[in-house]
């Protein structure tokens, strides 16, 4: 384990209260920023005090928990705040497929946070001034097909529908990717700023080049309390208020979307029940209205049995039916058969964890993998037995517009 740490000596960590820093994202330097922001609160970070590539396989979350336990356990911590997200923090991104390379944990050198009216700064090692430069526009964006063209993806949807109607499975979530190339190197901070401004109710995140604004909270862990927000069932926004309300009502009444949502809720219930001494799941979903789409949503809360880390919950929940399908193993086989691509971090867990085991993790949706001038955009749709390929393609295109907006402004 000591080789994987990449550390010559224990971390020295100092957390102090600071005055309100204003816009957290505006404090980020350009190089490799990390972020987890919603309604202006959360964490931003930069630098790397420690980093590890998490080995793929079925025990990857357990391996990650042990690595963090070793790293944080050896740290010298002076924490004046004692809140979730204070002291040493690691940001992480896990691939959707457990057998894929690319999962990573990073302990940033500097973390700036604001929560519940307090703000704090955490530094690891010697304090250093990091230069904040103006945001850079990437210029003109050119798009290209990803793994499948639009007609090919519609054909994949049709094949999934046939397998569902045959009784092989109940639901499969198929993802689509799109490539983008910019005139100039893409400034992740600009994408974060645009996303946080336009989608304040989503969790705007950045970790190791994976950037997005996800509406789906996989789990929030605070002490023994956990929260999760289950989303499944989607409709586009209307052209005016009356049309908007009509589409929301139609979504709420849709047998297909309600059944898709029920599958997702039940997968979360089954995952959390063994870990919780208490679990509350609403009987009816509510409508979550975002700026571009509407979702059926169910907030789930519970109380964990003693000693569980947020990564234990993430391990139990991933992949949910909302991003995989039902039954899980069959759906994953259909995904591998029909998508024709590696999802990388898309639809995988992304978030942060502190030394107490508290943290917030979302599902990496409405996101893109950024590298230099290039970006790979992702979107996915829940396919049911009565899904229409053209309608699913339109839904995927609506979801892709989130990151297209972030790139283009």
Q: How far apart are CA 94 and CA 105, in angstroms?
A: 9
Question: Residue 147 gets which letter from DSSP?
Answer: S
Place of tokens 């789990």: 219
Residue 281 belongs to some domain of the structure:
no
Longest dimension (CA), the chain: 62
Residue 241 belongs to some domain of the structure:
no
User: What does the pLDDT read at residue 224?
Assistant: 85
Residue 235 belongs to some domain of the structure:
no
Q: State pLDDT tens for residues 362-392.
A: 999 999 999 999 999 999 999 999 999 999 9
CB 109 within 8 A of CB 210: no
Distances in whole angstroms, Cα of residue 124 to Cα of each of 66, 110, 249, 382: 20, 6, 51, 42
What's the domain count of the chain? Answer: 1
Mean pLDDT over the full length of the chain? 92
Nearest to 107 by CA among 359, 349, 369, 353: 353
CB 46 within 8 A of CB 109: yes
Angle at 260 between CA 258 and CA 266, to 5 degrees: 100
Compute the chain's Rg from CA coordinates. Answer: 21
- Choosing from 216, 260, 360, 392, the catalytic residue is 216
Residues of the chain with pLDDT under 50: 1-6
First to last CA, the chain: 44
Residue 180 belongs to some domain of the structure:
yes
Following DSSP, what letter does each residue of 166-227 receive, concatenated? TTS-SEEEEEEEEEEEESS---HHHHHHHHHHH-TTSEEEEETTEEEEES-EEEEEETTEEE
Residue 174 belongs to some domain of the structure:
yes
Give the residue numbers spanning the domain of 57.
Answer: 12-134+142-216+322-408
Query: Full-prediction pTM beyond 0.75?
Result: yes
Residue 236 belongs to some domain of the structure:
no
Annotation says 337 is catalytic:
no
- Choosing from 30, 154, 171, 399, the catalytic residue is 171
CB 316 within 8 A of CB 359: no
Residue 251 belongs to some domain of the structure:
no
User: What does the pLDDT read at residue 5?
Assistant: 43
Annotation says 127 is catalytic:
no
> 106: domain CATH number?
3.60.120.10
| DSSP count for the chain of H helices, then E strands | 9, 23
User: What does the pLDDT read at residue 131?
Assistant: 84
The half-sphere exposure of 111 on its side-chain side, counting CA atoms within 13 A, is 34
């Amino acid at each position: 384990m000591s080789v994987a740490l990449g550390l010559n000596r224990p971390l020295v960590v100092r957390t102090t209260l600071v005055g309100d820093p204003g816009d957290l994202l505006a404090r980020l330097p350009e190089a490799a920023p990390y972020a987890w922001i919603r309604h202006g609160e959360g964490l931003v970070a930069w630098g790397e005090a420690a980093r590890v590539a998490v080995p793929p396989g079925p025990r990857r979350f357990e391996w990650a928990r042990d690595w963090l336990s070793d790293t944080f356990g050896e740290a010298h911590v002076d924490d004046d705040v004692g809140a979730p997200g204070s002291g040493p923090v690691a940001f992480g991104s896990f691939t959707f497929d457990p057998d894929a390379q690319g999962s990573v944990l990073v302990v940033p050198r500097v973390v700036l946070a604001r929560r519940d009216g307090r703000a704090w700064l955490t530094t690891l090692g010697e304090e250093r001034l990091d230069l904040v430069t103006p945001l850079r526009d990437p210029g003109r964006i050119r798009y290209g097909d990803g793994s499948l063209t639009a007609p090919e993806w519609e054909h994949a949807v049709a094949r999934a529908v046939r397998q569902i109607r045959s009784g092989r499975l109940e639901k499969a979530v198929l993802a689509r990717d799109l490539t983008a190339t910019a005139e100039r190197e893409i400034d992740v901070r600009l994408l974060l700023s645009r996303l946080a401004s336009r989608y304040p109710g989503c969790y705007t995140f950045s970790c190791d080049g994976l950037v997005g604004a996800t509406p789906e909270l996989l789990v929030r862990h605070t002490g023994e309390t956990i929260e999760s927000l289950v989303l499944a069932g989607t409709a586009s926004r209307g052209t005016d208020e009356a049309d908007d309300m009509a589409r929301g009502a139609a979504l709420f009444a849709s047998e297909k979307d309600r059944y898709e949502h029920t599958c997702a809720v039940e997968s979360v219930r089954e995952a959390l029940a063994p870990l919780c001494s208490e679990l509350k799941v609403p009987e009816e979903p509510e409508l979550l209205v975002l700026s571009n789409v509407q979702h059926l949503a169910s907030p789930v809360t519970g109380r964990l049995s003693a000693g569980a880390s947020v990564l234990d919950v993430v391990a139990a929940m991933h992949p949910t039916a909302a991003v995989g399908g039902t039954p899980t193993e069959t759906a994953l086989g259909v995904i591998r058969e029909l998508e024709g691509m590696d999802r990388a971090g898309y639809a995988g867990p992304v978030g942060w964890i502190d030394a107490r085991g508290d943290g917030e993790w979302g599902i990496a949706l409405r996101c893109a993998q950024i590298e230099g001038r290039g970006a790979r955009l992702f979107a996915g749709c829940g396919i049911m037995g009565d899904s229409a390929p053209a309608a699913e393609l339109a839904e995927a295109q609506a979801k892709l517009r989130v990151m297209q907006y972030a790139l283009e402004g």
